Amino acid sequence: MNRDDEEILAIARVGFLEEAADMLRQFEQALLIMETDPGDTENLNAAFRAAHTIKGTAGLFGFDAVVSFTHEAEALLESLRAGRIQVSEPVIALLLQSRDQMEALLAEVASGEQDPSIAEASRELGAALRAAMGGPTAAAEAPRAAAAPTEPGATQWAIGLRFGPDALRNGLDPLSFIRYLGTLGRIDEIRLLEDAIPPLDQLDAEACYLGFDILFSGTATREQIQQVFEFCIDDCALTLQALSAPEADAADGDAHDSDTHEAHAPDDAPTHGTAAATDRRTGERRTADRRAGSDDARVVKVRADKLDRLIDLIGELVIASSGANLVAHTENSPAMIEAAQRISDLVEEARDGALALRMVPIGDTFARFQRVVRDLSKQLGKEVELVVTGGDAEMDKSMVETIADPLMHLVRNSLDHGIEPVEARLAAGKPAQGRLAFNAYHESGSIVIEVSDDGRGLDSARILAKAIERGLISADDELSEEEVYQLIFLPGFSTAEAVTNISGRGVGMDVVKRNIESLRGQIRVASTPGRGATMQIRLPLTLAMIDGFLTQVGKVHYVLPLAVVAECIDVPPECRADPDRVCGTFDLRGQLLPYLDLARFYGAPRTEQRRRSLIVVNQGETHIGIVVDRLLGEHQTVIKPLAPMFRHLQALAGSTILGSGEVALVLDMQGLIAAAGRHGTTYRHSHAFAAGTAPLNSQSIG
């Protein structure tokens, strides 16, 4: 095998592993639905198709361990489809264990290393699967041996297979299909057809001239044999004749071919001609119809690093476009201004399109927790239903993996500490089955994710007492209810009476908050004792580029996310009355709102500014005014990380480069509001933050 072939196989192997991971997710999802709805035949068929696809593709690559074990799981699913056994909790548990075992075998494929313990687990679980079907529990023979022609219900088939000249060019390996066929039964005889090979001087080294006559025995149906060659149906002519078949299969054969059961020797099986052409045309029509109706045919998978590189280049293009606009206005040339504006509009469209490529539905992340909730609830002896809403809300793919771990901590805490055991719930007048809910929605340029349960809720008095006991706060500190709830995110904090293997060590919630804040996000808590608790996570839609609003304070430029800007007004009299004050409150058309003077907050030197402005910002249910020196308008903002020496600065999400080459600082609004609260403002508990109809009761920014 030359180097090019090795590279092609390596790329194909990566593609197989990616497809197998998708199939495993579908397999697991279908099983979890089947557990709650045993009569759902559609999901039973979906699970079978996923397992069959994994087995089939693994067979093409010669991954025998994957094929052998997946065959066992597929056999159990086939028994469920045929009604020989019924869906039950033990059967679903076995199939879920099979899913985990398939994942372990695929991990061996990815690493190229074999683990004897995984092979032993495959044997033991395979025996359990056979036992569930009422079969022998001893180690079974390989599928090929199990399908001997003497087995009851076995059929002998004559298979004619003629590959087209482009088969090799299209990446097909004829022997891989024959090897996979062998996993369904026994290949009794195979004859190479070489009549199509031209003289040496006319031979194309990249063309395929081979054909095969195969005598095959086994219990596989016509459809199962045809599925072996489904991947190459466009590049081969296939004929299939049953030489001997049990009476039960006769009707099936008649439905497909009137002379299917006509007995003749394999040498007489036609490999080309009218029958082969008919089979090929039928296969081509079937494949064309499948492609025409499939969304997958219009999907192109792109490496993540290539996509990241594209986003980076678009970001540089945004900065260059801003510079071109500045030059055009400096030159005061109408033609240049018009051309620069046109370029700017196109760059904005390209930016939006590139960012959209990285957006994925949050529901894909939520779906991972179906299995977690099932397993943990059974481990804890609780009944819990997972309800997901807003799964179609999209977020940046780069944030998905980072947010998955915090969500896992929140789910485990809700199941362990929040939702009560069945007896306690019944005694409290609640349904026996607890409810854990995921909800997601877009709001003000952010994605909001809520994890809520209907359990016992948080006990603020107990949290406060535990924090004082551990010296985390002083007994004299006056905290609002939400500030008390925020104590659970301090390192080492826990109110659990006993440590379990699920939670209780005080490790995790501080990591949750740190991971969320690393994404420029914020987590808030609301709870009603005895009725449940809600954890609300607010994240930016993307970490790469935003529509910004450019301002200036002194000689420094600041950018706010445009999505949070509600309106801009003159500085109110309340702010002008005490120009040295960092924070205060002002009246906005009868509504009392807090404000923050950005110049005083960052310690900028006082300037003789004739006219300053106040920007009213809506961050979720929080409303605050930001006082700045100048308003410079909208600005496409490419967010770049701050250098380590500047990361100690408060409430900054990053930096950006302006068209002039100057650096502007990107404000982190949530950090700015929190920092303002820590500044000791008088509005901390004002009614301006206690009002509203948000899912969270408290609107304090402290």
Q: Identify the CATH number of the domain in which residue 33 sits.
A: 1.20.120.160
Rounded Cα gap, residues 680 and 684, in angstroms: 8
- Residue 10's domain comprises 3-140
Residues 116 and 168 reside in one and the same domain: no
Q: Quick one: average pLDDT of 89-112?
A: 91
Cα-based angle 375, 380, 383 (whole degrees, multiple of 5): 75
Residues 536 and 508 reside in one and the same domain: yes
Handedness of CA 262, 265, 270, 274 (dihedral sign): negative
In 336-383, beta strands by DSSP E:
359-361
What is the pLDDT at residue 609?
A: 63
Q: Hey, how many other C-beta atoms are within 10 angstroms of the C-beta on 507?
A: 13
Q: Write the CATH number for 232.
A: 3.30.70.260
Rounded Cα gap, residues 560 and 666, in angstroms: 6
Out of 540, 574, 589, a domain closes at 540
SS3 state at 640: strand
Report yes or no on 700 lying in a domain. Answer: no
Q: Quick one: average pLDDT of 429-455?
A: 90
Q: Residues with Cβ < 8 Å from 11, sequence gap 6 or more?
A: none
What is the pLDDT at residue 298?
A: 62
What is the pLDDT at residue 104?
A: 92
Residues 31 and 176 reside in one and the same domain: no
| pLDDT score of 219 more than 60 | yes
Asked if 454 contacts 430 with a C-beta cutoff of 8 angstroms, the reply is: yes
| pLDDT score of 276 more than 80 | no
b vs e for 50-84, b when ≥16 Cβ sit within 10 Å of the residue's Cβ? bbbbbbbbbbbbebebbbbbbbbbbbbbebbeeee
pLDDT grade, residue 267 (50/70/90)? very low
For the segment 143-176, what is each residue's pLDDT rounded down to a tens digit? 443 334 445 567 888 898 888 888 887 777 788 7
Q: What DSSP designation does 565 have?
A: E
pTM recorded for the entire structure: 0.65
Q: Quick one: average pLDDT of 289-304?
A: 57
Most confident region among 134-148, 256-270, 620-634 by mean pLDDT: 620-634
Structure tokens at 269: 């099986």
Burial of 255 per CB tally in 10 Å (0-12, 13-18, 19+):
exposed
Rounded Cα gap, residues 416 and 101, in angstroms: 27
Q: What is the CA radius of gyration of the chain?
A: 33
| pLDDT score of 507 more than 70 | no
Report yes or no on 146 lying in a domain. Answer: no
Cα-based angle 620, 597, 630 (whole degrees, multiple of 5): 95
Residues 330 and 247 reside in one and the same domain: no
Residues 106 and 194 reside in one and the same domain: no
Q: Quick one: average pLDDT of 363-389?
A: 90
| pLDDT score of 614 more than 90 | yes
Closest by CA to 92, choosing from 80, 104, 82, 75, is 80
Indicate the average pLDDT of the chain.
79
Residues 273 and 168 reside in one and the same domain: yes
Output 10 or 699, whichever has higher pLDDT.
Answer: 10
Closest by CA to 445, choosing from 315, 545, 360, is 545
Alpha carbons within 13 angstroms on the beta-carbon side of residue 434 total: 35
CA 563 to chain centre: 26
Asked if 681 contacts 549 with a C-beta cutoff of 8 angstroms, the reply is: no
Report yes or no on 145 lying in a domain. Answer: no
The pLDDT > 70 percentage for the chain reads 81
pLDDT grade, residue 180 (50/70/90)? confident
Residues 8 and 128 reside in one and the same domain: yes
Rounded Cα gap, residues 107 and 85, in angstroms: 31
Rounded Cα gap, residues 693 and 702, in angstroms: 19
Report yes or no on 283 lying in a domain. Answer: yes
Out of 501, 517, 540, a domain closes at 540
Report yes or no on 701 lying in a domain. Answer: no
Q: Which of 179-183, 441-445, 581-585, 697-701 is predicted least confidently?
A: 697-701
SS3 state at 300: coil
Residues 72 and 53 reside in one and the same domain: yes
CA 230 to chain centre: 29
pLDDT grade, residue 79 (50/70/90)? confident
Burial of 679 per CB tally in 10 Å (0-12, 13-18, 19+):
middle
Rounded Cα gap, residues 663 and 255, in angstroms: 74
| pLDDT score of 681 more than 60 | no
User: Three-class SS string for 105-169?
Assistant: HHHHHHHCCCCHHHHHHHHHHHHHHHHHCCCCCCCCCCHHHHCCCCCCCCEEEEEEEEECCCCCC
Q: Which of 2-16, 58-72, 280-294, 364-378 is predicted least confidently?
A: 280-294
| pLDDT score of 81 more than 50 | yes
Rounded Cα gap, residues 161 and 236, in angstroms: 7
**What is the strand order of the sheet 155-163 is part of?**
186-193, 211-218, 155-163, 236-244
Q: Write the CATH number for 650.
A: 2.30.30.40
Report yes or no on 397 lying in a domain. Answer: yes
Report yes or no on 702 lying in a domain. Answer: no
What is the pLDDT at residue 102?
A: 93
Structure tokens at 487: 């104590």
Residues 185 and 240 reside in one and the same domain: yes
Structure tokens at 586: 């002002």
What is the pLDDT at residue 259?
A: 37
| pLDDT score of 39 more than 60 | yes
Q: Quick one: average pLDDT of 238-263?
A: 51
Q: Which of 147-156, 438-447, 468-477 is predicted least confidently?
A: 147-156
- Give rounded-to-5 percent helix, strand, coil for the chain: 50, 20, 30
Residues 450 and 504 reside in one and the same domain: yes
Report yes or no on 243 lying in a domain. Answer: yes
For the CA atoms of 357, 358, 359, 365, the dihedral, rounded to the nearest 10 degrees, stands at 130
Out of 140, 172, 192, a domain closes at 140
Alpha carbons within 13 angstroms on the beta-carbon side of residue 135 total: 17
Asked if 594 contacts 686 with a C-beta cutoff of 8 angstroms, the reply is: yes
| pLDDT score of 297 more than 60 | no
Do the strands 663-667 and 556-561 form a parallel or antiparallel pair, or are they unpaired?
parallel
Residues 580 and 498 reside in one and the same domain: no
Residues 523 and 594 reside in one and the same domain: no
- Which residues sit opposite 244 in a β-bridge? 156
Closest by CA to 50, choosing from 69, 87, 25, is 25
What's the number of domains the chain is made of? 5
